[in-house]
Amino acid sequence: MGWNWLSIGASLLTLVSGVKSSPPLVERTWNGTEYGCKCYLGDECWPSDSSWAGLNSTVDGNLVVTIPPGASCHSTFEGPLGTLSTYDAAACADTTAMFADESWTVERPAAALWTYFTNDTCRPTGNPSESCTLGYYGLYVIVAKTKDHIKAGVDFARENNLRLIIRNTGHDFIGRSTGWGALVINTHSFQDIEFIAEFSGPGDYHSQAVTIGAGVQGRALLRQAHEQDPPIIVLTGECPTVGVAGGLIQGGGHGPLTPTYGMVADTALSFDVVTAAGEFLTANADENPDLFWALKGGGPSAFAVVLSVTMKTFPEQASHGVVIEINSTHTSDPEVFWEGVRVFHKHANSIVDAGLYAYFELSEMRLHVKPIVGFMKEPTEVASALQPLFDEFKSKGIPHSTYENQYPSLFDLYSDLFEDEGAGTSALTGGWMFSHQDVEENNDGIIEAFRTVMSPRDDMQSQGFIIGHLWDAGHSMPVSNSATNPRFRSSTNFAIVALPVPIGATLAQKEDLQNVLTNIQDAAMRKAGPNGCAYVNEGDPYQPDWQYNFWGSEYPKLLELRKKWDPNGVFYAVSTPGTEDWEVIEYGTRLCRKT
């Protein structure tokens, strides 16, 4: 779009009355550029031991030093605060067995489910003599149990100019849940769920609702909703470990109910938050409506710390599920396989136009569509929508297998057909949304882009993969009530791009792989889908023009609101509104602002 984000940001910088300023940034020079940086261990501004002890007292003893999960497999943890003997054979065996388990990882105070942005410097190992360092994890963690603990952490970070990380589940593809030398506030213990028979406002919605704490995850919420009498349903992500109230809604949120009710953020009715100034506020249609709007898709960890959110709920309904497989058990011919992928994606518009949702995984010689969801659909309705696809499979001779079942509720379908994701892998993530128009006009070009993702270079054959989501956020909600990119209202396929990173990769290798992701894989996706956009929770934060790609025409308003609600940059999450002039320098360590 050619917008000058730094100039816009400077012109909009206005302080809110009563906001407490942070101390001056720490002067630093990196590669010939002058910066003002957050305060880190070793700087004169770093809080004294007694200050940290005071914070620990304020949070009732819930301040802990970060030790990476893999430390129990190493003889020592060489941390910034000193060296600890950490080897424990039993704990190491447990860590090794559970390192790829999402639920286990979520319960660690600062762990990230995908490890690339931790720097992978302390993984489980069978060789205890291997080095174990903190990597890019935060230094201290407040395992918050009350809203006052969160306020204390925000105040301490602001008053001491510390980098602050808000971590809920660690379900985070692009490193927003971790940061070198930072103070982390862990909100995962906020597990309250309260169902409301009739929401009394504000706004014009007066039906069933639910208020959930910041740490509530999708599966737990759906299970409790299903246990209501009569059963109800709530919008969540497709992955059951995702924390609903925090990063999901603040990024927008998409899932199997998106074709029926829009983005997860569209269903939010009210938030309780802690602001950058350390104030407890409610944000809804009447109170702080600008903040309410921004929290609904404007970016995670950007405007406030969410304590709880109240969301719409809906009646549970019978649902139909379908699974489609094309893989090497069906054909050994790559051209037959890719023709099957092309035909499947060609029919994506008709699938979403029928109000269906589909989740698929695409890698070399494997198309795994599990599931296609027909919420409130009879088997005959789903069959009618998919028949043209199967007819073309037959006419083109595309071998495949299918499975389908009618379920008494979406919860039963969700429990049976949605698969847990893994943890502990190291990868770079990008992605792109293809619109109705893109699929209609350039489906063959999109498939060529998929093939580029799979094998982006001659020396990188079959190394990439795609996770696709067929949904149209505008199918039943054509006009957004949230800060999400308006282009999602004409979406057909939001596809995540992933590129594995070898453990122990050098800085040069990492730079090369980031270039491959941004300028080969994602570039091919962007070119094939000129009417699409990117999704802030599952996209490349280093893509060009991320502001427009993530938020489109909503970005200038979001930038203005960020300067209002967090003028001093207390919060930081990469490539969220207002972070244009911030940069992580010195090989992924210090967070600084260009001066």
Which band of pLDDT confidence, cut at 50, 70 and 90, is reported for residue 3?
very low
Residue 168, pLDDT > 60, answer yes
CA dihedral defined by 310, 311, 316, 322, rounded to 10 degrees? Answer: -130
Beta strands in 262-391 (DSSP E): 268-274, 280-284, 305-312, 314-315, 319-327, 357-363, 366-375
Res 9: pLDDT: 36
- The residue with tokens 């829009």 is 262
Enter the tokens of residue 10.
């400077």
Q: Which pLDDT band holds residue 247 (cuts at 50, 70, 90)?
A: confident
Position 222 scores a pLDDT of: 97
Asked if the bond preceding 300 is cis, omega within 30° of 0, the reply is: no
Which residues are bridge partners to 312 per DSSP? 209
Q: What is the pTM of this model?
A: 0.94
For 379-410, how does the pLDDT look when each residue is reduced to its tens digit (9 = 90+)?
A: 999 999 999 999 999 999 999 999 999 999 99
Which is more confident, 240 or 454?
Answer: 454
Angle at 395 between CA 391 and CA 398, to 5 degrees: 90
Residue-wise pLDDT for 62-83, tens only, equals 999 999 999 999 999 999 999 9
Contact 221, 191 (CB under 8 A): no
pLDDT at 11 over 70: no
Whether the CB-CB separation of 212 and 272 falls below 8 Å is answered with: no
Give me the half-sphere count of Cα atoms (radius 13 Å) on the Cβ side of residue 312.
Answer: 19
Per 3-state DSSP, what percentage of the chain is helix, strand, and coil (rounded to 5)? 35, 25, 45
pLDDT tops 70 at residue 6: no
Q: Note whether 567 and 19 are within 8 A (CB).
A: yes
- Categorize the per-residue pLDDT at 420 as very low, low, confident or very high, splitting at 50, 70 and 90: confident
Q: What is the mean pLDDT of the chain?
A: 95
Give me 102's structure tokens: 């999402």
Given this model, what pLDDT does residue 2 score? 39
Mean pLDDT of 38-47: 98
- Cα end-to-end span (Å), the chain: 25
Cis (ω within 30 of 0) for the bond into 502? no
> What φ, ψ does residue 369 adopt, rounded to 5°?
-100, 100
Q: Which residues lie closer than 8 Å to 47 by C-beta, 6 or more apart?
A: 55, 156, 160, 162
- pLDDT(256) > 70: yes
Amino acid at 47: P
pLDDT at 23 (0 to 100): 87
Q: Which of 473, 580, 478, 578 minimizes the C-alpha distance to 535?
A: 473
The residue ranges of DSSP E strands in 300-442, in sequence order, are: 305-312, 314-315, 319-327, 357-363, 366-375, 401-407, 427-435
Asked whether 320 and 405 are in contact (CB, 8 A), the reply is yes
Residue 13 has pLDDT above 90, yes or no: no
Sheet holding 465-470, edge to edge: 401-407, 319-327, 366-375, 357-363, 465-470, 491-500, 427-435
Residue 287 DSSP symbol: S
Q: What is the pLDDT of residues 552-592, one digit of tens each?
A: 999 999 999 999 999 999 999 999 999 999 999 999 999 99
**Spatial distance between the Cα atoms of 541 and 556, rounded to a whole number of angstroms:** 18
In the 8-state DSSP scheme, what is residue 276? Answer: T
**The predicted structure's pLDDT at residue 21:** 64
CA torsion, ordered 390, 396, 397, 402, to nearest 10 deg: -20
For residue 298, give the nearest of 568, 32, 556, 6 by alpha carbon.
556
The CATH classification number of 319-552 equals 3.40.462.20
Asked if pLDDT for residue 10 goes beyond 50, the answer is no
- Nearest-CA neighbor of 156 among 3, 320, 46, 231? 46
Comparison of pLDDT for 595 and 590, the residue scoring more: 590
CATH 3.30.70.360 corresponds to the domain 193-315: no
Percent of the chain whose predicted confidence (pLDDT) is above 90: 94
Can you give the pLDDT at residue 382? 98
- List the chain domain ranges: 193-315, 319-552
- What is the pairing mode between strands 183-186 and 140-143? parallel
- DSSP for residue 518: I
Reported as a pLDDT band with limits 50, 70 and 90, residue 20 is low
> Does the pLDDT of residue 14 top 80, yes or no?
no
Beta strands in 400-534 (DSSP E): 401-407, 427-435, 465-470, 491-500
Cα separation values, 337 from 74, 237, 393, 442, Å: 45, 29, 11, 19
Return the pLDDT at 442.
98
Name the more confident of 21 and 29.
Answer: 29
